[in-house]
């Protein structure tokens, strides 16, 4: 589940260092926060809001744990306190023609600083590099991103592979 991240390059390129945020690979102590934030932030999206809680939470938790097991996971954290997570992304870029983004999450007070973009670049490649990125969990807020970058395609069935 862990990935090789060069925080100096990413942080420098995105300006994250200017407000004390750096990227690192996810570790075992991050998993519960990642799972809970994914479950809660995805809960009321169009695709799942009609599902009963007793079906959604255990079922989606299984899906999330499998994504975390097979994908790359990067975490944005405070430089001064690496255990304080401000965002994370889960995805992979298995080949040169396409990549997969399972989910990206940034705490509300840290949005609009380029953190989500830096995380997406780290796990799935640059949205401007001409490579198609397939998104397995689409959200209303991420749909705005897909309108700006024409390389994202929603395909939840990639999770079945």
Q: In this predicted model, what pLDDT tens digit does every residue of 17-68 receive, in sequence order? A: 666 899 999 999 999 999 999 999 999 888 788 999 999 999 999 999 999 9
pTM above the 0.85 mark?
no
- Distance CA(127)–CA(118), nearest Å, equals 10
Q: Which of 22-26, 86-90, 92-96, 126-130 has the lowest mean pLDDT?
A: 126-130
Domains of the chain: 7-91+105-127 (3.40.630.30)
- Distance CA(94)–CA(124), nearest Å, equals 9
Taking a C-beta distance cutoff of 8 angstroms, is the pair 3, 23 a contact? no
Backbone angles phi, psi at 134, to 5 degrees: -95, 125
Average of per-residue pLDDT across 76-100: 86
- Distance CA(63)–CA(160), nearest Å, equals 10
């Amino acid at each position: 589940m862990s990935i090789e991240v060069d925080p100096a390059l990413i942080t420098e390129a995105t300006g994250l260092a200017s407000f004390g945020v750096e990227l690192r690979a996810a570790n075992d102590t991050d998993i519960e926060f990642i799972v809970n934030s994914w479950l809660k932030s995805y809960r009321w999206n169009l695709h799942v809001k009609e599902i009963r809680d007793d079906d959604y939470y255990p079922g989606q938790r299984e899906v999330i744990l499998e994504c975390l097991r097979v994908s790359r996971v990067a975490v944005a954290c405070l430089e001064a306190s690496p255990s304080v997570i401000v965002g994370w992304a889960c995805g992979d870029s298995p080949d040169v023609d396409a990549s997969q983004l399972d989910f990206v999450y940034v705490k509300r007070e840290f949005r609009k600083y380029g953190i989500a973009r830096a995380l997406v670049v780290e796990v799935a490649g640059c949205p401007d590099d001409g490579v198609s990125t397939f998104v397995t969990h689409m959200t209303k807020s991420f749909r705005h991103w897909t309108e700006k970058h024409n390389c994202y395609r929603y395909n939840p069935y990639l999770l079945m592979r």
